[in-house]
Amino acid sequence: MARPPVTERNATRSDEETSAPSLAGRVRVAAMMPPGHVRTPAYLRGKTGTIERALGAFANPEKLAYGLPAEKRRLYRVRFTMDELWGAEAETPGDTLDAEIYDHWLERVAD
């Protein structure tokens, strides 16, 4: 039996690339607190790290979660030191934490 076609809202539009410039080096995570389905953990907001690698472009989960047309966003793995995240409470300051952050949450910081 033929299935109905996948609705447009489910399409990931994987053939489209984003025109956003690519980021590298030191970045800061935006300190904003928007409502809704957000994949940036609160404990990383406002923190500065270094891009470990670029992962490519993925449909924005903040739109996908609500069935909205989702534009592609560049996704990065950003590496933070425990010192940056927890300050004096860090267990071992030089240990690190990597997380995936979308580019609309990142701003460049001078190295």
Partner 1 sequence: MPHDHADHLSPSGHPYRPDDDVPLSYWQAMEIAVRELLVEKGEVTAEEIARQIDAMDARSPADGAAVVARAWTDPAFKARLLKDASAASREMGYDIGALKLIAVENTASVHNVVVCTLCSCYPRNLLGLPPDWYKSRAYRSRVVKAPRAVLREFGVELPQDVTIRVHDSTADMRYIVLPERPAGTEALDAGAMAALVTRDSMIGTGLPRTPT
50 binds partner 1 (CB under 8 A): no
The dihedral sign for the CA sequence 65, 66, 69, 72: negative
Which residues are 22's β-sheet partners?
Answer: none
Question: Residue 29: is it exposed, middle or buried by C-beta count within 10 angstroms (0-12/13-18/19+)?
Answer: buried
CA–CA separation, 36 and 61 (whole Å): 10
47 binds partner 1 (CB under 8 A): no
Among residues 40, 51, 74, 103, the one that binds partner 1 under rule CB under 8 A: 40
Among residues 58, 63, 84, 104, the one that binds partner 1 under rule CB under 8 A: 58
102 binds partner 1 (CB under 8 A): yes
The dihedral sign for the CA sequence 8, 11, 17, 18: positive
36 binds partner 1 (CB under 8 A): no
Reduced to 3 states, what is the DSSP secondary structure of residue 67?
A: coil
Q: How far is the CB of 30 from partner 1 (least distance, A)?
A: 14
Residues in contact with partner 1 by the rule CB under 8 A? 1, 3-4, 39-41, 43, 55, 58, 61, 75, 77, 79, 82, 85-86, 89, 91-92, 94-102
